[in-house]
Structure 1
Amino acid sequence: MTALAPALLNPRRIALVGASADPTRLTARAQVYLRKHGFDGELYPVNPRAETILGEKSYPSIAAIPGPVDLAYLLLATEHVEGVINDVAAKGIPVACILADGFAEAGPEGVARQERLLATAKAAGVRILGPNSMGLINLNARSACSVNAALEAESLPAGRLALVSQSGSMLGAIMARGAARGLGFSHLISTGNEADLTASEIAGVLVDDPQTDAILLFLEAIRRADLLEEAARRAHAAGKPIIAYKLGRSSFGAELANSHTGALAGSDAAADAFFRANGIARVTMIEALLEAPALFVSRKPITAPHRAVSVMTTTGGGGAMAVDALGVAGIETRAPDEAAVAALKAAGLPHHGRMIDVTLAGTRADKVQAALTALAADPQTDLVLSVVGSSAQFRPHDAVAGIVGAAQSGLAKPVAAFLVPQADVSLRMLGEAGIPAFRTPESCADVVRAYLDWQVPRAAPAAAAVAHTLPARPDEADARKLFAALGLDTGIAVMASPEAVPEGMRYPVALKILSPDLAHKTEVGGVALGIADAVALKVAATEMRARVQAKAPGATITGFLVQPMAKGLAEAILGFRRDPETGPVVLVGAGGVMAELHRDTALRCAPVSEAEARAMIEEVKGLKPLAGWRGLPKGDLNALARAIVAVSRLAAVAEVAEAEINPLIIHAEGQGVTVADAWVVRS
């Protein structure tokens, strides 16, 4: 970390390997931009075919550079990159940033090329930023070591926000959008393919940077989730929020992220769970990524948010848009309480309705401040939002004075503003005052939702060891033995053949085929229900074996599973998997054959506590009737919560890649749950 931090955050001696003497070429841009934006450190263009490049001495090789070098930016073609890494190492350069593409994102040949590159770098002791990296920028030090065309701008504001982006082009786009709003950055770092250095590790470096107050992440995938978890916990302790925008919310987005940087996409729900567990705020709009820091910096997560805001507006239509967008995000616009009504009356302001429409009084700073102060005193509100109409565009000082006054008066709740017209001056004034200000009702709602979702990093319970060994190709009987080891007794019998009917069974029973090759047995006729007696069981098993052999001739049949029929109040799905990005997760949802259709689930990083399990149950709409909704009989939600905790303990069983109970039958309160179907997949 000692050599890594200065190389990434403030390199003062930079080698530009493969720099071009033609200022119109991409490989000349880094040198052009570094000097254009005032870099006063040492630059070493390396090109054996030129004595000078753009007015600066050129060197025939890395070895020819006098003295130490902090960073090598490799501007070479793909086929030449690998051969230069040993030269970088011989010079003692700690980090090589690689511009070239054609690596892991370019198919099997590119994957192999990237693996060779990384092996060479590791053996040589060189850290790699990229490939596919557009470089790194420190605006406070006027260091723009990047080829991103956004650096054509004449000036770029420095500030205290750091951005780490897996997309090089989005690095420039976000920087440009921020500059248009007067937002300044401390650092902007493009990680590209992340063959070695990841956004996760760099976030950890930025936690210790005294020039950075908040860390923004533009992610296509989460690599090294362990390092991001560590960074997030240290960031929380340091009072530096991490705010993430991550692609992959749709299957198409996940596919594009995969093809772009060679990422192995995990599920978006798992990413959400990971962010929540580790105190990382997630926004879903790129505009929100820029607007969120003002609300998060210098604040801690609310312990128990009411998910309610108070709204004051000078425009009925604009206020209604904000209220509507907040409602879609699951946030209530709260009518003023009795104390607020009294204060509004005393100030001569309207006090009826869900939002307070002050109309013409909105240009009077004293009235606006009085209204916001009254609303912020409500203990049941989380935030006060001022919606401003045309005055924000044409009378900016009048429009924002009351908002600034209220925010700076020490109110107990945050004050934010949504400006309905295009009002750049007002936006800039609010930004300079540190007040969250939004251009659209949708981004306003997105940021407020992210703020109310924001949590302290959880104290994850230790995953107790599970004494159990799985066979190489487990069938359902093996899965049930595993769940029994977790404390979920399944009450089954196994028949090796149709003739081996078990004694002492309680009829009627369910019969299922056993095969490590068949996760879904119904489709091949491998399930029979309501079998009345032993004679019928033998007949059913004989017929079932014939059906399955006909429909799935390649499946290995290992026997039959027999279980007494059970009927409960509802069915749930309970699952576990090792997400390729974020690691172990546990899922509960409304179950049965419709589970995949309804997608009514809750998911958390595993293992979970019983309190977390109960919170998961509350999130699943299909399970709400079991709480006694409208007089319906109550289900055994305590047993369901314990089952979730038990399955989450699979996090400690490394040989389990995936496991599922579907359905898990939930009986009446106090009567437990029944495992009706189960399967497991080895890692």
Structure 2
Amino acid sequence: MRQPPASLDPLFKPRSVALIGASDDVARIGGRPLRYLREGGFKGAVYPVNPKRDTVQGIGSYSSVAALPEVPDVAILAVPAQGTVQALRDCADRGVNAAVVFSAGFAEASEQGRLAQDEIAGIARQSGMRVLGPNCLGLFNAGIGYYGTFSAILDAAFVEPGPVAVVSQSGAYGSHIAHLARQRGLGIGQWITTGNECDIDVAEALRWVIDQADVKVVMAYAEGIRDRDTFVEALEVARAREKAIVFLKVGRSDVGAQAVSSHTAALAGSDAVFDAVLRQYGAYRARTTAEHLDVAYACARGLYPAGNRFGIFTLSGGFGIQMADDASACGLDAAPMPEAAQEELKAMLPYASPRNPVDATAQALTDLPLMTSYIAAMLEKGGYHLFAGIFGSGPASPTFSAKLRQTLRTATAGHEGRVLALSMSAPAEIVRAYENDGFLVFEDGSALVNALAALVWFRRSFDAAKATRPAAPAAMRIAPPHGALSEHEAKSLLRAAAGIAFPKEALVRPDEDAGAAAAAIGFPVVVKICSPDIAHKTEIGGVIVGVRNEAEARDAARTILARARDQRPDARIDGVIASPMIKGGVETIAGVVRDPTFGPVVMFGLGGVFVEVLKDVTFRAAPFDVAEAQRMIHEIRGFALLEGVRGAPPTDIDALAEMLSRLSQFAADNAELIESIDLNPVLAMPRGEGVMPLDALLVPCRSGS
């Protein structure tokens, strides 16, 4: 049963904490959390539990949970694996609301460990106590000084609260990214590592932090997702509230996926599907830890541009050109300054380049009022939604930094709602000063451009989520299929239940006249075997194309039936299908597969070599509307072919999107009955002429047989 998001409140916002296995040694796992709670400003009651000591770190200790003067909201367990199950039973018997289990040695280690972890999960279910871990680094809520972790990143200094939340399956990664974020000047309000996830998982933790008013961006890390519905809900709620989720998901490669399985026993699922689902629901997938940090840093202000016009100010042509190249690759529009504005800037400095990038040359370094005028003109007259200035190491200069900072403050005054960024290198205290003035600061120009492009991506995603969506189609439930379906049966079912249109065709039984049936269709025709047991017809020579008359149709039917009897004597034969030869259009492929994490997902791509060799396909979790199907279609690398190239007419993309949306709704409504669907090929005809799925394969689930 799904828990309401508020069920994690005792874990994240406790009024009292018991530390079971508390140690006097602040370097030990049982000592660090107590030290952090004592020194971090936590106002609630803290109860060390250690039957061997009267006091721990100067605080009175208790012999057991039962001996505590009150029932704590949360218990932190710093005990060995072999003592964990009993300690949790003790907590459950006392009515503790939540528990954090640090110890490793459970499902990630051995079969015996898995059985012990199952016991922990059973205790959580039976008692209602929420359990974080085992094999985790715990969590913290910096705003209340609550540090339920033994992470060493807090040894030197505590984390300042701020608009960032961190949700990570991996404790090591969660600690590292928090350390990097702190170095970057980012405040972290909530931080949680979920470990083996016997109860609380990444999806539920993500859902909880999204509900916190002070959170603007979440840095998430996962190796796999267990709870599809809560995960999708978290993504949808975050997008509706314009809170950015920046996700690092490992397991892209086969080797990586195998490492995931051995590391956490989590099911990684299909990486391509996970990638598509993040896009579908508005989460940004970071490719590297550096990008994870850069994009979260840019999002932490909650300021997103209204468009993608990008103005670049530079003192050196080379750096400006490089940034313009990066902008083009990221989809930012480095549009030129208006002609009149260029003339004004040229009049100020004849040998400058005022187009965009706007290069004021090194002259601007010795004439700061000139720099002020140039930058102010870009912001006032350029129509740019994003601005970047390239200054290298100049801001670090003791004799120049203060003047440059004042110049930039003057030039950008009144444009606080604009996204302003600087590429520069300087000590942390100088960087913080520029950030306080409203600038995003990056040392690397390419990272700057990528992060700004991510802001544009989020803005578009937020806006798309607010768009009016048409009502979902009526439910298209079907009766459980009795065994495999032939092509003709699959088409009939999809036509009736999903509203997918197929070209007219005739099923000709073995004892019927294929010639007459083909004539009724209209020549030329395709003749192909129809059998629920022969999915790949061409492998037995079961397709003959270009049949021009009745005699050829009869010959084709006899030949195909003979081949089927010869090569597949075990197969059930319904007959042959006669269907029209259709020319023109662009060959695409669509289908449905069951992802182990997200259930039915729809696949779309170009057909032929594009799917076989280039694997130019994309996915969406079912169901989705026509607008999402349009975005799906636009994602494939070969989209230009659908728009029409070398004189070819544009295809009917609207009809294609409608078909994909209908297919997704059908797949969602019958998720427990269908293993997979293939529509291949699907001809995208010229605009206004619709789409033509020429073949259909529907494989029922075994349970639906």
TM-score of the aligned structures, taking structure 1 as reference length: 0.88
**Measured at CA, do residues 293 and 3 of structure 1 come closer, stay the same or move farther in structure 2, by a change above 3 Å?**
closer
Give how far 1:450 is off. 1.6
Which residues of 2 match residues 413-452 of structure 1 at below 5 A?
413-419=418-424, 421=425, 423-452=427-456
**1:509 correspondence with 2:512:** no
Contact 1:137-1:189 at 8 Å conserved across structures:
yes
In 2, Cα distance between the equivalents of 1:114 and 1:343? 72
Q: Which amino acid aligns with 1:370?
A: S
Offset at 1:557?
Answer: 4.4
Whether 1:535 and 2:539 are equivalent positions in the alignment is no
- Give the letter for the 1:589 counterpart: G
Distance 1:497 1:110 in 2: 60
**Of 278, 282, 290, which residue of structure 1 is paired with 2:293?**
290
Question: In structure 1, what is the Cα distance between the partners aligned to 2:229 and 2:382?
Answer: 38
User: What does the per-residue CA deviation read over 1:543-574, in whole Å, with 9 as the maximum and x for residues that have no partner?
Assistant: 2342346xxxxx75454552423333321011
User: Match for 1:410 among 410, 415, 431?
Assistant: 415
**1:562 lines up with 2:573 in the alignment:** no
Closer, same or farther in 2 for the Cα pair 1:576/1:637, shift >3 Å? same
**Aligned position for 2:478:** 468
For 2:439, the aligned partner's letter is I
1:546 alignment partner, one of 544, 566, 572? 566
Deviations 1:390-412, CA, capped at 9 Å, x for gaps: 20332443444444444552256
Tell me how far 1:301 sits from its aligned partner: 5.4
**CA distance in 2 between partners of 1:411 and 1:11 (Å):** 38
Residue number in structure 1 paired with 2:491: 480
> Counterpart of 1:604 in 2: which secondary structure?
strand
Distance in 1 separating the partners of 2:117 and 2:512 = 57
User: Residue 604 of structure 1 corresponds to which residue in structure 2?
Assistant: 620
Decide whether the 8 Å contact of 1:37 with 1:142 is kept in 2: yes
Q: Matched residues in 1 for 2:52 and 2:360: separation?
A: 71
- Opposite residue 432 of structure 1, the aligned amino acid is N
**Aligned pair partner of 1:86 in 69, 79, 89:** 89
8 Å Cα contact 2:500/2:659 also seen in 1: yes
- Change in Cα spacing, 1:24 to 1:613, as seen in structure 2 (3 Å) is closer
- Counterpart AA for 1:662: N
Question: Is 1:95 matched with 2:95?
Answer: no
Q: Which amino acid aligns with 1:318?
A: F
Aligned residue number for residue 377 of structure 2: 374
Distance, in Å, in 2 between the alignment partners of 1:370 and 1:250 is 51
Asked if structure 1 preserves the Cα contact closer than 8 Å seen for 2:164 and 2:218, the reply is: yes
Match of residue 161, structure 2, among 152, 158, 163? 158
Q: Report the secondary structure of 2:103's partner residue.
A: coil
Query: 1:233-272 counterparts in 2 under 5 A?
Result: 233-236=236-239, 238-272=241-275
Distance 2:269 2:648 in 1: 38
Q: Which residue matches 1:552?
A: none
Q: 1:390 aligns with which of 372, 387, 393?
A: 393
Q: What is the alpha-carbon root mean square deviation over aligned residues?
A: 3.3
SS of structure 1 residue aligned to 2:165: strand
Counterpart of 1:187? Answer: 190
**For structure 2, which runs of at least 5 residues remain unmatched after alignment?**
none
Structure 2 CA distance for partners of 1:145 and 1:364, relative to 1, 3 Å: farther
How much has 1:74 moved relative to structure 2?
1.7
Alignment size in residue pairs: 674
> Greater shift after overlay, 162-171 or 392-401?
392-401
**Any conservation in 2 of the 1:327–1:333 contact (CA below 8 Å)?**
yes
Matching of residue 653 in structure 1 with residue 685 in structure 2: no
Distance 2:340 2:657 in 1: 41
Tell me, yes or no, if the aligned pair for 1:513 and 1:561 is still in contact at 8 Å. Answer: yes
Matched, 1:355 2:357: yes
- Measured in 2, the distance between the counterparts of 1:249 and 1:372 equals 43
Letter in 1 for 2:329: V
Q: Measure the CA separation in 1 of the matches of 2:444 and 2:224.
A: 27
Give, in angstroms, the shift of residue 192 of structure 1. Answer: 1.8
The question of whether the paired residues in 1 share the 8 Å contact of 2:92 and 2:123 is answered with no
SS in 2 for 1:376: helix
- Whether the 8 Å contact between 1:283 and 1:446 is mirrored in structure 2 is no
Q: Distance in 1 between matches of 2:674 and 2:657?
A: 21
Q: Distance in 2 between matches of 1:560 and 1:106?
A: 55
Opposite residue 10 of structure 1, the aligned amino acid is K
Q: Secondary structure at the match of 1:660?
A: strand
CA distance in 1, matches of 2:639, 2:317: 39
Q: Which residue of 2 aligns with 1:589?
A: 605
Q: Secondary structure at the match of 1:292?
A: helix
Partner residue, 2:224: 221
Cα contact 1:130–1:197 (8 A) shared by 2: yes
Choose the corresponding residue for 2:588, options 572, 577, 602.
572
**Cα distance change on mapping 1:620 and 1:216 into 2, 3 Å:** closer
1:633 maps to which of 649, 658, 670: 649
C-alpha contact 2:248 2:286 (8 A) present in aligned 1? yes
Give the counterpart letter for 1:410 in structure 2. Answer: H
1:665 aligns with 2:675: no
* CA shift for structure 1 position 260: 2.8
Q: Does 1:617 align with 2:633?
A: yes
Structure 1: distance between partners of 2:643 and 2:594: 30
Contact persistence 2:420–2:438 (CA under 8 A): no
Name whichever of 140-149 and 37-46 sits farther off.
Answer: 37-46
Verify the 8 A CA contact 2:530 2:577 in the aligned structure 1.
no
Q: Secondary structure at the match of 2:567?
A: helix
Cα distance change, pair 423–680 in 1 and its aligned pair in 2 (3 A): farther
Deviation by residue 1:370-390 (Cα, 9 ceiling, x = unmatched): 333322346764311112212
Give secondary structure in 1 for the equivalent of 2:63. Answer: coil
What SS class does the counterpart of residue 500 from structure 2 fall into? coil
Long gaps (5+) in structure 1: 550-554
- CA offset digits 1:159-179 (Å, max 9, x no partner): 332212221112211121122
Instruction: Work out whether residues 570 and 665 of structure 1, in 8 Å CA contact, stay in contact via their aligned partners in 2.
Output: yes
Correspondence for 1:118: 121
Counting aligned pairs with the same residue, the percent is: 31
CA contact (8 A) 2:416 2:438 kept: no
CA distance in 2, matches of 1:313, 1:341: 15
Q: Are 1:313 and 2:317 an aligned pair? A: no
Cα gap change, 1:429 to 1:321, in 2 (>3 Å): farther
User: Does residue 326 in structure 1 map to residue 337 in structure 2?
Assistant: no
Structure 1 residues 539 and 375, CA gap change in structure 2 (3 angstroms): same
For 1:408 and 1:82, the matched residues in 2 are separated by 61
For structure 1, which segment, 80-89 or 64-73, has the greater mean C-alpha deviation from structure 2 after superposition? 80-89
Q: Is 1:335 the equivalent of 2:349?
A: no
